[in-house]
Amino acid sequence: MSGTGEMLEGGDPAADRRAFRRSLGMFATGVTVVTARAGDQMVGVTANSFTSVSLDPPLVLWSIDKSSTSLPIFMAGTHFAVNVLAQGQVALSNHFARTAPDKFGGVDWTPGVGGAPLISGTAAVFECRRAVEHDAGDHILMVGHVERHARFDRDVLLFHAGTYKAATAHPDAG
């Protein structure tokens, strides 16, 4: 059963930010780890704010919190990679969601375009040249020009209503 359709909560997002966040959580998203390198420093953050922008030119977008300790490396690097996580990569998502001195220790990866780490075992990867940034409230929107992409025969990891989910075909999909 998918619920009654009864409104659970609503109102002014500024008055109750947690309720607003729960409403935002009703939009299911994929889970990514976005990576970059600047000099000898590498960063990676878990993000579900990834979306396509344009096919011609090939552009994608993601957002990063202005208070993120990884932001200076993303701003200094020329490239970033969006690693779309596969269903079996929940632990990897949690790993990159936390602050740690060496997030890549024990993680299987290879350098991509501009040195941005490409994580093994993902469902897809987009290697991007940083194109433009936009100030957006408490986040920075980063637009990347996709220079290389790949997809693999793996099911994707989803996030919905505050928890990880697995995608299954809808019975009406035909």
28-162 belongs to which CATH class? mainly beta
What are the φ and ψ backbone dihedral angles of 10, each rounded to 5 degrees?
180, 180
Residues 116-136 have pLDDT tens digits of 999 999 999 999 999 999 999
Q: To the nearest whole number, what is the mean pLDDT of the chain? A: 95
| Number of alpha carbons in the 13 Å side-chain half-sphere of residue 57 | 11
Domain range annotation of the chain: 28-162
Residue corresponding to tokens 């075992």? 121
- CA dist., res. 61 & res. 160, Å (int): 20
The yes-or-no verdict on residue 156 having pLDDT over 80 is: yes
Query: Poorest-confidence range of 13-22, 49-58, 72-81?
Result: 13-22
- Residue 102 pLDDT: 87
Cβ-in-10-Å burial (0-12, 13-18, 19+) of 142 comes to buried
Mean pLDDT score, 152-160: 96
